[in-house]
Chain A
Amino acid sequence: DAMVIQNPRYQVTQFGKPVTLSCSQTLNHNVMYWYQQKSSQAPKLLFHYYDKDFNNEADTPDNFQSRRPNTSFCFLDIRSPGLGDAAMYLCATSRSGQEDTQYFGPGTRLTVL
Chain B
Amino acid sequence: DQQVKQNSPSLSVQEGRISILNCDYTNSMFDYFLWYKKYPAEGPTFLISISSIKDKNEDGRFTVFLNKSAKHLSLHIVPSQPGDSAVYFCAAIEGAQKLVFGQGTRLTINP
Contact = CB atoms under 8 A, between A and B. Distances in A.
A109 B98 CA distance: 22
A3 B46 CA distance: 13
Contact of A104 (B2, B45, B98): B45
Interface residues of A, number: 28
Interface stretch (A13-21, A61-69, A73-81, A95-103): A95-103
B26 to A, nearest CB: 13
B34 A101 contact: yes
Contacts of B101: 42-44
Interface extent on B, as a size class?
Answer: 20 to 34
Interface in B7-52: 9, 32, 34, 36, 41-46, 49, 51
A40 interface: yes
Contacts, number: 58
Interface centre among A9, A41, A102 (most CB of B within 10 A): A102
B9 A102 contact: no
B46 A48 contact: no
B96 A42 contact: no
A102 B98 CA distance: 10
Interface in B64-106: 89, 93, 96-104
A103 B46 contact: yes
B97 A97 contact: yes
Interface of B: 2, 4, 9, 32, 34, 36, 41-46, 49, 51, 89, 93, 96-104
Interface of A: 4, 6, 9, 31, 33, 40-45, 48, 50, 55, 57, 90, 92, 94, 97-99, 101-107
